[in-house]
């Protein structure tokens, strides 16, 4: 009888820990785009040299074709910083809607499919 009284609360505790870990995984921290500062200059220089794309992740416009590319550092807890380059500020909100999609494309070095409505201002 004592075994049941100890085992039942222990099983309940384990079940609650499992459920909270599953729920916590769904709420994993997301990253954010941060403008580079002077402190990032050395890192930024290396990141630019290693950047795999010559076009904007969002619009497929050539980086530098409309002026200096818009650059951000994507920071996510537990991950290495990632340089993200856009052709203009208009592309940033689209990236923010689905950063995982664009970071995966960036990591693979694959260009996105240009959308006719990506830049109505161009």
So what's the pLDDT on residue 102?
94
What is the band of 23 on the pLDDT scale with cuts at 50, 70, 90?
A: very low
Q: Is this model's pTM higher than 0.85 or not?
A: no
Tell whether 54 is covered by a domain. yes
Higher per-residue confidence, 77 vs 18: 77
Q: What's the pLDDT band for 13 if we cut at 50, 70, 90?
A: very low
**In-domain check, residue 24:** no
Higher pLDDT among residues 15 and 106, named by residue = 106
Cross-strand pairs, 85? 71
Terminal CA-to-CA distance of the chain, rounded, Å?
Answer: 76
Q: Are 112 and 105 in contact (CB under 8 A)?
A: yes
The answer to whether position 115 is within a domain reads no
* Total count of domains within the chain: 1
């Amino acid at each position: 009888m004592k075994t049941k009284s100890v085992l039942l609360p222990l099983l309940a505790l384990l079940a609650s820990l499992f459920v909270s870990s599953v729920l916590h995984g769904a709420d994993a921290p997301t990253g954010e785009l941060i403008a580079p500062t002077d402190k990032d200059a050395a890192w930024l220089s290396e990141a630019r040299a290693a950047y795999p794309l010559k076009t904007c992740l969002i619009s497929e416009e050539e980086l530098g074709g409309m002026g200096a590319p818009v650059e951000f550092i994507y920071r996510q807890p537990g991950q290495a910083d990632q340089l993200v380059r856009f052709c203009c500020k208009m592309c940033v909100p689209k990236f923010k809607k689905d950063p995982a999609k664009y970071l995966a494309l960036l990591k693979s070095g694959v260009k996105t499919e240009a959308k006719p409505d990506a830049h109505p201002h161009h």
